[in-house]
Structure 1
Amino acid sequence: ELSALTANPPKNLHGYISNQGLPGARETVGRFLGDLYNHPIYPESVVMTSGAGGALNVVLKSILNPNDEVIVLVPYFVEYKYYIMNAQGVPVYCNLDENFQISVEEVASKITARTKGIIINTPHNPTGCILSRESIFSLGELLKEKEAEFNNPIYMIYDAPYTQLTYDGVENVNPFASYHRVIYASSFSKDLGLAGERIGFIAVDKEIEGHQTLISAFIFANRTLGFVNAPALMQNVLARLDQLVTEQEEYRERRDLMVEVLEEANFEFHKTQGGFFIFPKSPIPDDVEFCRIAVEKFNVLIVPGTGFGRPGYFRMSFSLPLSTIEGAREPLKALRNYFK
């Protein structure tokens, strides 16, 4: 499609466009989400953004007043706290349980009269876990109760850039069915392998309270934060696509090999359900020291869990050639044996 587009470009292909995004691109996004969740999302409820990171910054700038609080589930994508602080908000950290699922009791203890939102990331970076339907729907019920208690809106900010990278029949939960105040922030960077193209979006249900005010705020923030609009070229490509569903057999094959290599080396971990990360336990309490030794002595580059707010773990990516993963088999066994 990109080749066809550039060979016969439409008028104004590289010119200014609507800050909300091209109607055709927004229609494609709405159709994608409707097929994914069996829930209608309309073009007027979509704003195109510069990636999911851009989407989250736009959302937070739009909904937060100074010192409003946003709950961040730990472990977390490290940039969340900076996105929140960029919008003059306050990150409030809340641990996931040992299976990396939401503890409703823990979340309840973190909600105050200043709480404006909670960021949900599933499939989850860094753990590779998918939050269960029970987790998401129980959270929705809790947020409804807390909204009534504090007489204040609380948004579920749903960061979901890995929805097509799921394995073993584990399905994505429909967030729009779980709660009435969901702001969906995502991109096609990961599942379509377009990370450098920064093509993301924000979507809300048409029935969300203050729909037009929210959309107007997103459009305004998109411009004033300096993004202006998502890249026009890739929006034109999206507008030409009938569907965005992709097969992920290559990622599943890499996940399976990574699991095999780690099991053989006797690391303890939860098997990745979605995305392309895995989050094993460090064999020593000091995960930073473990990762330092891994790279210096065994040429294995991994990221300490401390950076994601969960010491004692480390993150690995299997978004790599199969030969690279296979090549890590012996070094990982040697690394694990080093700490026996």
Structure 2
Amino acid sequence: MAATPRSAGLAPAAGSERFLRHVAIELGLSPHSQAAYRRDLAAYAEWLAEQGIADLASVTPRTLSDYVAALGSPSGDRPPLAPASITRRLSTVRGLHRFLFEEGALDSNAAGGVRTPKRAQRLPKALPVEDVEALLAAAGGEGDAADPVALRDRAFLELLYASGARVSEATALDVDDLLAAPGRGDAWGDPVAALGEGGFLRVTGKGAKQRIVPYGSYAGRALAAYLVRARPGMVERGSGTPALFVGPRGGRMSRQSAWLVIRSAAERAGIRAEVSPHTLRHSFATHLLAGGADVRTVQELLGHASVTTTQIYTQVTADTLREHYLQAHPRARAAR
């Protein structure tokens, strides 16, 4: 039999709305982040109701420990959440209780001492160089007969691998974010001369932070071909946009379209490994480090706030080097 809710002091729904107004107005989080917060808080409120708790003041550290345990356990048809999802939900709930405590709506912060479950370290999966080359070739976009969409797809994938940009960052680019090397003009005037030997990219990353990332001649030539032979015709079908990558109807390329481009190219290239929107970013970082790039440089190029995030790629590179060593050195393995 369901427990009877206690009398409400500060109901979870009311407290959640106050917190959501705070993250929207004072923290300025994106609509996407606000929606994620709202989902997490709704799930928390639902669980509290199942426990008969209708007042956030009644929540204790033990209550929250029980909530974390519940998230990690199967319930009915729902499988247990992954550690990363539990961490995200607990972070939202912690923010709720901390905010309400600091605002004086709660007498104590029940979430202050609740420990986050350890997350298993997932190593990023990078493609071998030959697989990346096959994927790029499978996008098409070569020769005079290449159709506009193939030219766009090739330029898009070349730029992802050349810059290490996130898919969301690449689809948000405008033509003005393409910066030619000094003395080579501008991308609007003469793309072939300005970009053919490579240049720089102004990328806006997380927290609206901008970084300047170089790209090489392969990406430069693919971009120039797209800007001259494909983008003008696509943009004419729309209402005009500064977007660098556009769809056949002239609107900005969506992240969903970008994912389909990557998956389709991987299928045509016959790549059996799982390929995700982040695969070319992982490959970019791994191949740079394997080629001798400094980890701090790769950190700047990826837009990581902390070098700790970037160092996971050094482990991938070290594992690859050890594998090659064990395969190649005559005395690397004991005789059997």
Q: Which TM class, normalised by the smaller chain length?
A: under 0.3
TM value normalised by structure 1: 0.21
- Going by fraction, where is strand more abundant, 1 or 2? 1
Report which of the two structures shows the higher radius of gyration computed on alpha carbons. 2
TM-score by length of 2: 0.21
- Greater relative contact order (Cα < 8 A, sep 6+): 1
Q: Looking at secondary structure, tell me which structure has more helix per residue.
A: 2
